Amino acid sequence: MPSDKIRKKISEETMAILAPSLLSPLFVVLLASTNCRGFEIKEATVDGIQQAFKEGSLTSRRLVEYYLDQIQTLNPLLHAVIEVNPDAVPQADRADEERLSGRHPGGGLHGIPILLKDNIATRDQLNTTAGSLALLGSVVPRDAGVVRRLRQAGAVILGKASLGEWGNFRSHRIPSGWSARGGQGRNPYALSKYPCGSSTGSAIAVAANMVAVTLGTETDGSIICAAAHDSVVGIKPTMGLTSRAGVIPISPTMDTIGPLCRTVSDGVHVLEAIVGYDSRDADATLAASSYIPQGGYRQFLRLEGLKGKRLGILRKGFFEFPKGSIYQEVFEEHFNAMRKAGAILIDNLEINNASIIRDAKKSGEKAVMLAEFKLYLNVYLSELSNSPVRSLADVIAFNNEHSAEERIADFGQSILLEAQNTNGIGPVERNAIAKMTRLSLEGLERLMMEKQLDAIVTPGASASSVLAIGGYPGISVPAGYGTNGVPFGICFGGLKGSEPKLIEIAYAFEQATTVRKPPSFKPGTSAFQPLKEW
């Protein structure tokens, strides 16, 4: 339904309810009792939480206890969280003490609970396993680079979020959102539908108010698709803007770490805390550090952020919906909203070689992923302080030995086996990397330059490979809800380092359309049904 109409309807209804009661004593009583209950944590934003900390109507401890309670209640249904941190309450107490004593000014992520996708290493009581039983009990040598920054910012590590096991890189037959340790993650908006991923647990948990903010990772689509299908905001940063050190890899050519949050502003708070140079991911983070704007990213949360922006709509192969479908209707409405907000839409654009780019075999992406996965997973495993497995070969053997728990008969491990057959970066892989670079230069870069675009606009995760093979950033914002109840998103993508522009566009779009609503857990059938790809 067009969002303007929804908003109008809601405000009319609200007025109808409020108008008579404005003068009545009942209204005053209701208002007073709302104040007594204090701060409403459900759907709270980072800014709202910080304000409540400041006013003394909320503590980090109360926030952590609320979320732990939510996890206990909802996780048996949603399977979003693998582990909660036994240190979360003490960390919250420390943050409260620092703020109240004046030793820390507060603000940013200080005292804010965050869930980390289970492929992001923490050197604490939490395990880091990519959802696999093979890594249970492994001990990491140190926190991941992004975790070190989160702790410096004073964030509370609430626990580990589930994911598609091994970041969806074990087998094509593994259902989206399944891991041996986490079970089957469910879409909180339509329980019989998949959450899309692989950053599924992060998206589900933050959508269902089981945490304030989360981190996910993306190689090709894992943040953008999870954000779109679970009605949250996902920021996939430029490759190298955020350190990959201490994150279980797939492909360092493409891997990136980024937030999944309920609002663009929350995502920007998280992004700002985790970007920057890391000597353990030196080349990529040094190259990308020149993109970090002086004064950080929050200055780009501008209501008029769409004004004058040139947005390229990729229709062919991307915005292709049956005529009269809800998707077509809603996106046309959004395009109008963007025009009204001052954006210049350049329609019906095509990207050179789009069909090659979107076919991982033809673009070279698959060859690069397979070879890099083996190479860099083996490095990750060899650096662990302690581990039951030390190589990809060990992981494959573990899965065969624990085939019942890892459901090898049902799902297999074909991608792991394919990766094991590779032999480092040889001529084939070098050619593949060169091809990806050429496709990006002749594709997105040329289009952006020729049409002088600030961003491209695509539905769902349909542009994920365009963004993946060039290391480009993208932001997914909730765009609507299908007739089947499954949310869908709109993705703004751009050239390397264009986060400031993308944030302006995404924030202004979000504020103009206000699509996101929290899920309400209507029971669905238990059989899972496949999702549309985009």
From the candidates 138, 179, 202, 222, which is the catalytic residue? 222
Task: Please report which helix (H) or strand (E) contains residue 310, including its range.
Answer: strand 310-314
Q: Is 489 helix (H, G, I), strand (E, B) or coil?
A: strand
Residue of 38, 105, 137, 141 interacting with ligand NAG (CB under 6 A)? 137
Beta-carbon count within 10 A of 335 CB: 18
Q: Tokens 């309670």 sit at which residue?
A: 69
Beta-carbon count within 10 A of 218 CB: 31
Q: Is the dihedral of CA 162, 166, 167, 170 positive or negative?
A: negative
Residue of 59, 91, 127, 413 interacting with ligand NAG (CB under 6 A)? 127
Stretch that binds ligand NAG, among 209-217, 269-277, 349-357, 393-401 (CB under 6 A): 349-357
Q: Which residue number, 298 or 438, has a Cβ lying nearer to ligand NAG?
A: 438
Residue of 292, 356, 384, 428 interacting with ligand NAG (CB under 6 A)? 356
Q: Which residue number, 352 or 391, has a Cβ lying nearer to ligand NAG?
A: 352
From the candidates 60, 117, 176, 496, which is the catalytic residue? 117
Total chain residues near ligand NAG (CB under 6 A): 14
The pair of three-digit structure tokens given for residue 339, joined into one six-digit string: 């025009």
CB-count burial class (<10 Å; 0-12, 13-18, 19+) for 59: buried
Task: Please report which helix (H) or strand (E) contains residue 475, including its range.
Answer: strand 474-481
CB of 114 to ligand NAG, least distance (A): 16
Q: Which residue number, 125 or 414, has a Cβ lying nearer to ligand NAG?
A: 125
> Does 326 interact with ligand NAG (rule: CB under 6 A)?
no
Contacts of 200 (CB under 8 A, 6+ apart): 80, 161, 162, 163, 164, 176, 177, 185, 226, 230
Residue of 68, 311, 439, 453 interacting with ligand NAG (CB under 6 A)? 439
Stretch that binds ligand NAG, among 3-11, 119-127, 315-323, 379-387 (CB under 6 A): 119-127
> Does 437 interact with ligand NAG (rule: CB under 6 A)?
no
Cβ proximity of 372 and 253 under 8 Å: yes
Q: What's the one-letter identity of residue 202? A: S
Stretch that binds ligand NAG, among 280-288, 369-377, 431-439, 471-479 (CB under 6 A): 431-439
> Does 141 interact with ligand NAG (rule: CB under 6 A)?
no
Residue of 14, 24, 125, 279 interacting with ligand NAG (CB under 6 A)? 125
CB of 427 to ligand NAG, least distance (A): 17
> Does 442 interact with ligand NAG (rule: CB under 6 A)?
yes
> Does 136 interact with ligand NAG (rule: CB under 6 A)?
yes
> Does 428 interact with ligand NAG (rule: CB under 6 A)?
no
Stretch that binds ligand NAG, among 125-133, 227-235, 262-270, 523-531 (CB under 6 A): 125-133
Residue 120 is given by DSSP the state B
Does 222 qualify as catalytic in the annotation?
yes
Q: Which residue number, 90 or 105, has a Cβ lying nearer to ligand NAG?
A: 90
Residue of 83, 96, 218, 365 interacting with ligand NAG (CB under 6 A)? 83
Stretch that binds ligand NAG, among 123-131, 165-173, 246-254, 483-491 (CB under 6 A): 123-131
CB of 362 to ligand NAG, least distance (A): 9
Q: Tokens 């919906």 sit at which residue?
A: 321
CB of 68 to ligand NAG, least distance (A): 13
> Does 251 interact with ligand NAG (rule: CB under 6 A)?
no
Residue of 192, 328, 352, 484 interacting with ligand NAG (CB under 6 A)? 352
Q: What's the one-letter identity of residue 83? A: E
Beta-carbon count within 10 A of 70 CB: 18
Task: Please report which helix (H) or strand (E) contains residue 236, including its range.
Answer: strand 233-236
Q: What's the one-letter identity of residue 282? A: A
Beta-carbon count within 10 A of 310 CB: 14
Phi and psi at residue 454, in whole multiples of 5°? -90, -30
CB of 84 to ligand NAG, least distance (A): 7
CB of 411 to ligand NAG, least distance (A): 23
Does 117 qualify as catalytic in the annotation?
yes
Cβ proximity of 286 and 320 under 8 Å: no
Beta strands in 74-210, from DSSP E residues, in sequence order: 81-84, 113-117, 156-161, 178-179, 183-184
> Does 86 interact with ligand NAG (rule: CB under 6 A)?
yes
Contacts of 305 (CB under 8 A, 6+ apart): 503, 504, 505, 506, 507, 508
**Cα 481 vs. chain centroid, distance in angstroms?**
18
CB of 393 to ligand NAG, least distance (A): 22
Regarding beta strands 256-261 and 213-218, do their DSSP bridges make them parallel or antiparallel, or are they unpaired?
antiparallel
Stretch that binds ligand NAG, among 28-36, 262-270, 432-440, 456-464 (CB under 6 A): 432-440
- What is the C-alpha to C-alpha distance for residues 113 and 128, in angstroms, rounded to an integer? 18
Q: What's the one-letter identity of residue 275? A: V
- What is the C-alpha to C-alpha distance for residues 167 and 75, in angstroms, rounded to an integer? 20
Q: Which residue number, 30 or 139, has a Cβ lying nearer to ligand NAG?
A: 139
Q: Which residue number, 439 or 457, has a Cβ lying nearer to ligand NAG?
A: 439
The pair of three-digit structure tokens given for residue 83, joined into one six-digit string: 């582990």
> Does 365 interact with ligand NAG (rule: CB under 6 A)?
no
> Does 438 interact with ligand NAG (rule: CB under 6 A)?
yes
The pair of three-digit structure tokens given for residue 316, joined into one six-digit string: 């062919």
- What is the C-alpha to C-alpha distance for residues 370 and 376, in angstroms, rounded to an integer? 10
Does 251 qualify as catalytic in the annotation?
no
From the candidates 198, 202, 231, 440, which is the catalytic residue? 198
> Does 368 interact with ligand NAG (rule: CB under 6 A)?
no
The set of catalytic residues is 117, 198, 222
The binding site for ligand NAG (CB under 6 A) comprises 83, 86, 125-127, 136-137, 352-353, 356, 435, 438-439, 442
